[in-house]
Structure 1
Amino acid sequence: MKYLSILFLAFLISCKPSENKLTAQQIIDKAIVSSGADKVANSEIKFKFRDKEYIANRKSSGSFKLTRKQKDEKAGFISDVLSNEKFERLVNGIPYQVNDSIANILSNSVNSVHYFSVLPFGLNDKAVIKKLLPSTTVKDKEYYKIQVTFSEDGGGEDFDDIFIYWIGKQDFLVDYLAYSYHTNGGGKRFRAINKEVLKNGIRFVNYDNYKPLNKEISLIDIDKAFEKNELKKLSEINLENIEVQILK
């Protein structure tokens, strides 16, 4: 009877779900809440990035308006505006016609900066495909690793790019991200947090931007290369003058 009781107890323990065995979806959900990114869906966010002003107006209904403003010495004030309906360029407040190929490049450029500025918001979009990779440790901190790819339907022109996010096992915050891309000859990039700031409960992160010294370094092992100083710092991704208004 003693041995039967031990076996029965072992059976109950084995049947109890482990709190550590989270799915990729559960980890992303927790990361969005932990960073306050769930508030992004109903907000107006302004920031400056590399001498350009960015304004994002998003509503819980799903509508959005993403703007980039800049001053050109010859043309004057230029605004590139991407919304659910269209992309539009304004020069000194007047609509300016650009051909489809240029409009597509400008649209992707505006969307990219706004997308990265509020991560992990956006990682639950319909086109996102999530995969849980083996956990890892970077600089003595334990991380979940989530690979993100995109379906061709709704994934945009760069749907075949691959992203990896390092999400802290204790705080569920994104400290590192990496991606491979195919435009302009392709390549890999790794971003490491250098500063974080909270605005109205939303976490914004500045990153140091790296590339591998050796092209053969795989994307999945790029965190190991980072710890071995096998990456070259290219630039800093810094958001300045951040303002956040939560819409009612």
Structure 2
Amino acid sequence: MMRPFLAAIVLAPFALLCTCGPAPAYPEDAESLTAGQLIERAITAHGMNGWDTLARLTFTFRDRSYGVDKRGGTFSYTREFIDSTGSAIRDVLTNEGLERFRDGRPDSLTTKDSIAYAGSVNSVRYFFMLPYGLRDPAVNAELLDSVAIDGKVYDRLAVTFDREGGGTDFDDAYHYFFDRASGELDYLAYNFAVEEGGLRFRQAINKRRVGGVLVQDYINYGVDGRQRAIDSVVERYLAGELPELSRIENTEVRIEAGG
């Protein structure tokens, strides 16, 4: 999924603080809440308000190292790993596109491979930085009815993306679920059409604060195939119809938070 994104507090790696933080005020009249207000409330709850100015972070996901360096509208996203041949690979995605380096030298890529690697780098970065990315201009957000999950009330947001600026999978549909009490993103769901399609539902786990920013991992549930209606995803999850597929676990997190 190709999706568009810290004055200077340098944090020790693995700095873990409690998840407690200021819960932005919730409108007394829940009916008056807008999609934009819900997104901004969540960004504040996650401690990501300064990221428009400056964002620098690194983390490891599935034995690959990722980096984000974002300054205003300019960004550089990186991924580093050792491939099956023993070569050191470094992918660099910027506003100009993706470059791959193999053992420090530029590597020639086909257009197809370049698009695929860019999408892969950006997808991991995008999910790690949620809910910040929901502020992007390519986002089309609609507030849906609230739902109850495990005894908590969640405000539910439906999101689609514009074709222009929305990435290679702009036509995927997403639902985001925000704890009404804390404003935090606890669940998300999306469907997709590639490779026969499927439906995914993610539950946030292992919440911790790194320099005031909420970092969380996910249990990834879902099914593949044509039964990918997203409107019934909560009911299917609660009924045990979505098996666990994987765990999204981020380690070695370092963040500089902008302000």
What's the TM-score once normalised by structure 2's chain length? 0.85
- Specify whether residues 19 and 141 from structure 1 end up closer, same or farther in structure 2 by C-alpha distance, changes over 3 A only: same
Q: How many residues align?
A: 231
Q: How does 1:1-40 map to 2 (within 5 A)?
A: 19-20=29-30, 21-40=32-51
1:38 Cα offset (Å): 2.1
Q: Between Structure 1 and Structure 2, whose CA radius of gyration is higher? A: 1
- Specify whether residues 98 and 212 from structure 1 end up closer, same or farther in structure 2 by C-alpha distance, changes over 3 A only: closer
User: Which deviates more from structure 2 when the two are superposed, residues 19-28 or residues 206-215?
Assistant: 206-215
Question: Which letter maps to 2:29?
Answer: E
Q: Deviations over 1:62-106 (max 9, x none)?
A: 111000000125252100110112210011111111011100000
Which of the numbers 135, 138, 144 marks the counterpart of 2:146? 135
Partner of 1:7: none
1:246 Cα offset (Å): 2.8
Q: How does 1:1-248 map to 2 (within 5 A)?
A: 19-20=29-30, 21-41=32-52, 42-59=54-71, 61-212=72-223, 216=227, 218-246=229-257
Instruction: Considering Cα pairs closer than 8 Å and 6+ residues apart, tell me whether 1 or 2 has the greater RCO.
Output: 2
Structure having the higher helix fraction is: 1
The separation in 2 between residues aligned to 1:121 and 1:176, in whole angstroms, is 15
- Specify whether residues 232 and 214 from structure 1 end up closer, same or farther in structure 2 by C-alpha distance, changes over 3 A only: farther
1:245 Cα offset (Å): 1.8
1:19 Cα offset (Å): 3.2
* Matched-pair contact (CA < 8 Å) for 1:66–1:82: yes
The separation in 2 between residues aligned to 1:19 and 1:238, in whole angstroms, is 37
* Matched-pair contact (CA < 8 Å) for 2:43–2:132: yes
1:39 Cα offset (Å): 3.1
Structure 1 residue runs of 5 or longer lacking an equivalent are: 1-16
SS across alignment from 1:231:
coil
Structure 2 residue runs of 5 or longer lacking an equivalent are: 1-26
Partner of 2:23: none
User: Which deviates more from structure 2 when the two are superposed, residues 118-127 or residues 206-215?
Assistant: 206-215
Identity across matched positions, percent: 34
What's the TM-score once normalised by structure 1's chain length? 0.88
